[in-house]
Amino acid sequence: MGNFDPQRVRTCKTTGLNVCLDAQFFIKANAVFAVVFLLVGAIAAILLALTRWPAVHLLNDVWYYRILTLHGLNMLIFWILFMEVAILYFACTSLLNSRLAAPKVAWASFLMMLIGAIMVDVIILMGKGDVLMTSYVPLRGHPLFYLGIILVAVGTLTAVILFFATIYIARRDKTYEGSMPLVTFGALAAAIIATVTLLHGAVVMIPTFTWSLGLTPTPDAGWYRLIWWGLGHMSQQVNVCAMVAVWYFLATLTTGAKPVNETVSRVAFVLYILFINLASAHHLLVDPGLGASWKIWNTSYAMYLAVLASLIHGFTIPASIEVIQRVKGFTRGIFNWLTSAPWSDPGFSSVVLSMIIFGFIGGITGVTIGTEQINIIAHNTLRVPGHFHATVVGGTTLAFMGLAYYVVPLIFQREFFMKWLARIQPYIFAGGITLMSIGMSFAGSNGVPRRHWDVEFTGAGIGAGFDAGAHFMLGLMGIGGTIAFIGMLIFILLTVATVFFGRSNAETGMVSWQSADRMKMISDAAGKEAEFEVEKHKTPGTLVLVSVLLVSFVVYYFANWKALAEVWWVR
Ligand code: HEM
Ligand SMILES: [Cu+2]
C-alpha cells in the first residue's frame, strides 16, 4: 500500500512509519523558521517583561509599543502557524501512509508565509507598524504591514488546502485501513477551523490594506473589531485543536496510551468546529455597538459547548494514561500510576505540564473572564494576558516544545545535545510561565491595565499608581517572565544546535528518551487494555484530578461574582 514515489520515501527505523521525503523537507523548513520566529518573539518577551515590571521599566514608551507589536505577531502568529503547518504535513502524510499531494504547492505556501512574515517584522522594526497585533482601525500602519499579514494568511491557507488535497489522495489511493487516526482527525478539525478563520482574515485585512493605500475609506471600527475577532479568536481554537492533537500523539508515543473512547474524542473535536466562532463574542463584551442579549447568548451558552470539548479531552487523555499505566502494573493507590510515569522524558513532561497549565490556569480564568457580567472588571487589565499566556504559552507552546523533542530525532534524524538539560527544560519553562501568569492575573485583579507603558504615571502632578499588592504581583510577573525566557532560550539553543550539528541517528533509529525497561513495558502493555477493562476499567486518579479542577473553578468563579458585586453597588 501507500502511494509513494519509490525515490521519495524512507521508512522510519524507530516507528516503522513511511516518511514522504517531500513532506519531510517541508516539515523541517517550517519547523526551522518557527523556531527562528520564536527567538525573535522571545527577545521581545524579555524586553516587555522587564518593562512592565515597574522596578525595572526598561524600554521607553515608543519602543514598548513597537516591541509589543513585534512580540504578539512573532509568537502568536508566526511561531505557531509555522509549527502548525509542519504538524499538518506530518499528520496527512506519515500518519496516513501517503505522499504529499503537491510539493510545488508547499513551496508556494512556504515562500508566501516566509516573505510575508519578514515583511511584517522589517516594517515593525522600521517604526512603520506601531499598531499592535490587533491593528485596530483607525490606527494606521504602512501598507506593507497589512500586505505581509495577508501573505502569511494566504500562504497558510495554501498549506491547509494542500493538507485537504493530501487527505483526498490518501483516501482515493486507499493508503490506510479503517477510519482516519485520531491525531489526523484533530489536525483536520484544526484545518477546517483555520479555513473559516483565514476567510475572516481576508474579509477584514483586504479593506484595511486598501485603506492604508488611500484607496478606500476607513473601515468602521465596530465592524473591524467584530470581523477581526472572527480571525483572532478562532485562530486560538486552531491552536487548541493542534495542541490537543499533539497531546494525544505524545501521550501514545511516551506511554503507549490509547484513547479510552475514540468516538467521544472525535465528537469533542466536532464541538470545537461548531461552536467556537460564536465564542469570539467574548472579546467584544464591552463594545457599545452590540446588544446585551447577543453577548449573553454567545458567551454564556454557545461558548460552553466549546469548553465542554476541552473538558472531554482533559478527561480522556489523563484517563488513557492512567489505564495504560495500570495495565503496566502501577496499580498501588490512587496516584501510583502518575508518580511512576516517565517524568524525565521531555515529551511526556511537556504534555502533562501543558495540560495542567492550560486547564487549571488558562481554562478557569478564561471561562471566568469570558462571562459577560464579570468581563466588565477584567476587560483590558493584565488578567487578559495572564489568561492567554497560560493557554497559548503554557499550553500550546509547551506542547509544541514537547513535540520538538520527538520531531528532531525522528524527522531531522539527529540526537539531542545535553539531554539532561532537555529533560529539565519543560519544568523551567512551565515554572516560569506559571509564575508569570499568576502575577499578571492578580496584578490585573488589582486593576493594572494591559498594553500600558507606565502604570505608575511617573512624574504625574497628582498621586497615581498602584498599591504594594499590585507591585508584588508585577514583580512576580517579571521574575516568572525571566525564568520562562531562560527556559525558552534553552529550548531554542538546544534544538538549533542539534538540528545543525547533532549526531546523526539515520542508521540506528532514535535513541529513546526512556530506559530499555520502560520501552519494554510499553510494548508488553500494548493491546492489553481490553483484558484490563473487563475487571477494573476504572480511573480513580483522573476522577480526583478533574474534581480538583472543578472545585477550583467554582471557587474562582464565585470569588469573581463577589468581586463584581463589590464594585457594582446596588441598593
Ligand atoms: C518567555 C516567554 C514570554 C514572556 C516572558 C512573555 C511576556 C509578555 C509580556 C510582558 C507581555 C505584555 C503584556 C502587556 O504589557 O500588556 C506579553 C504580551 C503578549 N504575549 Fe507574551 N510572553 C512570552 C511568550 C509568549 C508566547 C509564546 C506567546 C504566543 C504563543 C505570547 C503571546 C503574547 C501576546 C499575543 C501578547 C499581547 C500583545 C498585545 O497586547 O498586542 N507570549 N507577553
Ligand atoms: Cu478568544
Confidence band of 529 (pLDDT split at 50, 70, 90): confident
Which residue's alpha carbon is at the smallest distance from atom 38 of ligand 1? 72
DSSP 8-state symbol, 389: I
Query: Is 437 in a helix, a strand, or coil?
Result: helix
Residue 27 covered by a domain:
yes
535: pLDDT strictly greater than 80: no
How far, in Å, from the CA of 385 to the mean position of ligand 1?
A: 7
CATH number assigned to the domain comprising residue 49: 1.20.210.10
Confidence band of 105 (pLDDT split at 50, 70, 90): very high
- Please give the average per-residue pLDDT across 356-384, as a whole number: 94
Number of domains comprising the chain: 1
Measured from the alpha carbon of residue 65, the closest ligand is: 1
Distance in angstroms (rounded) separating the CA atoms of residues 301 and 103:
43
Measured from the alpha carbon of residue 45, the closest ligand is: 1
Which residue's alpha carbon is at the smallest distance from atom 36 of ligand 1? 72
Phi and psi, residue 559, nearest 5°: -60, -35
- pLDDT for position 165: 98
244: pLDDT strictly greater than 50: yes
Confidence band of 492 (pLDDT split at 50, 70, 90): very high
Amino acid letter, residue 250: L
Confidence band of 303 (pLDDT split at 50, 70, 90): confident
Residue 461 covered by a domain:
no
Ligand 1 atom closest to residue 393's alpha carbon, by position in its atom list: 27
Ligand 1 atom closest to residue 477's alpha carbon, by position in its atom list: 10
Is there a cis peptide before residue 426, judged by omega within 30 degrees of 0? no
Residue 10 covered by a domain:
no
- pLDDT for position 459: 82
Burial environment of residue 127 by CB neighbours within 10 A (0 to 12, 13 to 18, 19 or more): exposed
- pLDDT for position 461: 85
Tell me which residue has cell 522587564.
50
Whole-model pTM? 0.96
Query: Is 15 in a helix, a strand, or coil?
Result: coil
Measured from the alpha carbon of residue 375, the closest ligand is: 2
Question: What is the number of other CB atoms lying within 10 angstroms of the CB of residue 517?
Answer: 7
Cα distances from 461 to residues 179, 259, 458, 464, in angstroms, run: 69, 62, 9, 9
Output the nine-digit C-alpha cell for 98.
Answer: 501517503
Q: With a 6 A CB cut-off, is 71 part of the ligand 1 pocket?
A: yes
Distance in angstroms (rounded) separating the CA atoms of residues 296 and 288:
14
Residue 8 covered by a domain:
no
Tell me which residue has cell 467554582.
554
Q: With a 6 A CB cut-off, is 75 part of the ligand 1 pocket?
A: yes
Q: With a 6 A CB cut-off, is 480 part of the ligand 1 pocket?
A: no
Distance in angstroms (rounded) separating the CA atoms of residues 492 and 178:
39
The answer to whether 337 and 271 have CB atoms below 8 angstroms apart is no
Distance in angstroms (rounded) separating the CA atoms of residues 419 and 503:
13
Residue 436 covered by a domain:
yes
Output the nine-digit C-alpha cell for 220.
Answer: 468602521
- pLDDT for position 437: 98
Stretch among 114-118, 161-165, 460-464, 487-491 having the lowest mean pLDDT: 460-464
Residue 258 covered by a domain:
yes
- pLDDT for position 534: 44
Ligand 1 atom closest to residue 451's alpha carbon, by position in its atom list: 16
Amino acid letter, residue 60: N
Amino acid letter, residue 236: Q
Query: Is 281 in a helix, a strand, or coil?
Result: helix
Distance in angstroms (rounded) separating the CA atoms of residues 21 and 241:
26
Interstrand relation of 414-415 and 503-504 (parallel, antiparallel or unpaired): antiparallel
- pLDDT for position 569: 74
Q: With a 6 A CB cut-off, is 206 part of the ligand 1 pocket?
A: no
Output the nine-digit C-alpha cell for 84.
Answer: 502548525
Most informative mutation of 38, 43, 47, 75 for ligand 1 (most atoms within 8 A of CB): 75
Output the nine-digit C-alpha cell for 259.
Answer: 484513547
pLDDT tens by residue, 389-404: 999 999 999 999 999 9
Distance in angstroms (rounded) separating the CA atoms of residues 396 and 249:
14
- pLDDT for position 354: 98
214: pLDDT strictly greater than 50: yes
- pLDDT for position 304: 81
Q: With a 6 A CB cut-off, is 485 part of the ligand 1 pocket?
A: yes
pLDDT tens by residue, 20-40: 999 999 999 999 999 999 999
User: Where does 223-281 show beta strands of DSSP type E?
Assistant: none
Provide the residues around ligand 2 (an ion) whose CB is within 5 A.
233
Q: 181 is in which domain, residue-wise?
A: 18-453+466-567
Residue 253 covered by a domain:
yes
Average pLDDT taken over every residue of the chain: 93
Stretch among 41-50, 74-83, 451-460 having the lowest mean pLDDT: 451-460
Amino acid letter, residue 202: A
Output the nine-digit C-alpha cell for 83.
Answer: 509549527
Distance in angstroms (rounded) separating the CA atoms of residues 491 and 418:
11
pLDDT tens by residue, 41-74: 999 999 999 999 999 999 999 999 999 999 999 9
pLDDT tens by residue, 259-282: 888 999 999 999 989 887 777 889
Phi and psi, residue 378, nearest 5°: -115, -20
The answer to whether 527 and 324 have CB atoms below 8 angstroms apart is no
Instruction: Give CA 524 to chain center in angstroms.
Output: 33
Measured from the alpha carbon of residue 281, the closest ligand is: 2
Residue 9 covered by a domain:
no
Q: With a 6 A CB cut-off, is 49 part of the ligand 1 pocket?
A: yes
468: pLDDT strictly greater than 70: yes
% of the chain beyond a pLDDT of 70? 98
pLDDT tens by residue, 173-207: 999 998 999 999 999 999 999 999 999 998 999 99
HSE-CB at 335 with a 13 A cutoff on CA atoms is 3
